[in-house]
Amino acid sequence: MDKTGDHAIVLGASVGGLLAARAPAESYDAVTVVERDVLPSGAENRRFRDRRATYVPSRPLLEHHVRRRVRAIPNITLLDGHNVGDLTTTPDRRRITGVQVGSREGVRTMTVDLVVDAMGRGARTPAGLEKLGYGRPVEEHVVVHVVYRSQLLRLAPGTPMEKMVLIGAVPGRPAGMALFGYENGTWLFTVAAMAGREPPPSRDGMISAVEAYAPDHVVAALRTAEPLGEVAQHKFPSSQWRHYERMRRFPDGLLVFGDAICSFNPIYGQGMTVAAVEAMSLRDCLRRGEDDLSHRFFRAAKKPIGAAWQLAIGSDLALPEVEGPRSVQTRLGNAYVARVLAAAENDPVVVDRFLRVSSLMDPPGHLMHPALVGRVCIGNLRRHRRTGGAPMAVPSEIGTSLSALRR
């Protein structure tokens, strides 16, 4: 394959940054990943970020294996323990030529052909673009005020337990819980709350908070579990989408990636999946050369970001406690997805289709396939007969609009 350039640099060694580094490794002679933290050599938590991994394996173990695979690529170098400074440009400011990096030894400028900002929602690229005369991207926000607290546990020997217990928020109760089985016999217990609510700060308080809606055997297992470490807390103010694809002018030699473009309510666990799809889009864009790279990539990334955004935002707005505009399509979509989830309680086919869509393996439109709609209708009719017509609470695991479902 023809090379696009000599050297690319990726800012940030999160999972998103590591995935981003894989794409230019095919098109550049060398790729350097610059990370502020000193990276662990094993499956350990980095300086506390987000200790909630969504599925087994644990987040530290997953990051360890991704880092190991990235380190094994001959032309990728991980430069940890370095801070990122200002971007450098050509005199006319039309092209980014590198970035300043600093360590205990001092500050130096790394001159490269491509800079990829994967430094998360706190990335300084919007301010840098404004300083260079390009203005800032339009930002879209949905305020959710999520707070979740997590405790690593070891269940008592012989405790019967599903591999994963996940209970989402519902109208009137903007809170939920999760219990995930990890490697080495460890479990992660998480309690989350939204819209200004906060879970209790202690493990006992967290358990008491979920007694009203968690199954009895889950509560009993939590009561007898051994705590491993302290309760960790994470706060997330709002879902945020920076619309770089709408910018008329953008400097050559610069891309933005992952959470630095769009960060979603972390309850839904979409960030890493979207970053992986973005990495594939970046790889495909680089294979077609450098011309108009930023606009091509931002347009390509818009599709997976938009699908995940609709799923997350629709779910958030299913809760009346979350403020925001609710179109007719959003309300209809949430009502339909609630019935999909109700049917999924007793239909493994519906479960499989729903999980594939919520995991972004299939497009949202697959939930509107006539065969699936039929199963949803039958499942809800049976439920109606079984419950004697009792009203159905609208769960908020995933919500979306009918317009998104039809895409």
Provide the residue-wise pLDDT of the chain in tens; the chain has 407 residues.
568 889 999 999 999 999 999 999 999 999 999 999 888 776 655 443 443 373 467 888 889 999 999 999 999 999 999 999 999 999 999 999 999 999 988 999 999 999 999 999 999 999 999 999 999 999 999 999 999 999 999 999 999 888 888 898 988 999 999 999 998 889 999 999 999 899 999 999 999 999 999 999 999 999 999 999 899 999 999 999 999 999 999 999 999 999 999 998 888 888 899 999 999 999 999 999 999 999 999 999 999 999 899 888 888 988 899 988 888 877 888 888 889 988 988 899 999 998 888 888 888 889 999 999 999 999 999 888 887 765 454 444 333 333 333 33
Res 312: pLDDT:
87
Res 355: pLDDT:
85
| 87/81 Cα distance (integer angstroms) | 18
CA-based radius of gyration for the chain: 23
Place of tokens 């990370």: 35
Res 1: pLDDT:
57
Res 218: pLDDT:
95
> Reading across the β-sheet that carries 83-89, which strands appear in turn?
83-89, 96-103, 106-111
Res 43: pLDDT:
61
Strands 114-117 and 254-256: parallel
| 52/54 Cα distance (integer angstroms) | 6
Res 400: pLDDT:
33
Res 390: pLDDT:
57
Domains 5-140+238-313 and 143-237 share a fold: no
Res 327: pLDDT:
80
Question: DSSP code of 7?
Answer: E
Domain spanning 5-140+238-313 has what CATH number? 3.50.50.60
The count of residues in the chain is 407
Single out the residue of 369, 258, 393, 380 nearest to residue 319, CA to CA: 393
Return the CATH class of domain 143-237.
Answer: alpha beta
Number of neighbouring beta carbons within 10 Å of residue 407 = 13
Res 395: pLDDT:
42
Question: DSSP code of 278?
Answer: H
Res 42: pLDDT:
67
Domain ranges, ordered by start, for the chain: 5-140+238-313, 143-237, 328-405
Alpha-carbon torsion (255, 257, 262, 263), positive or negative: negative
| 227/71 Cα distance (integer angstroms) | 33
Q: Model pTM?
A: 0.84
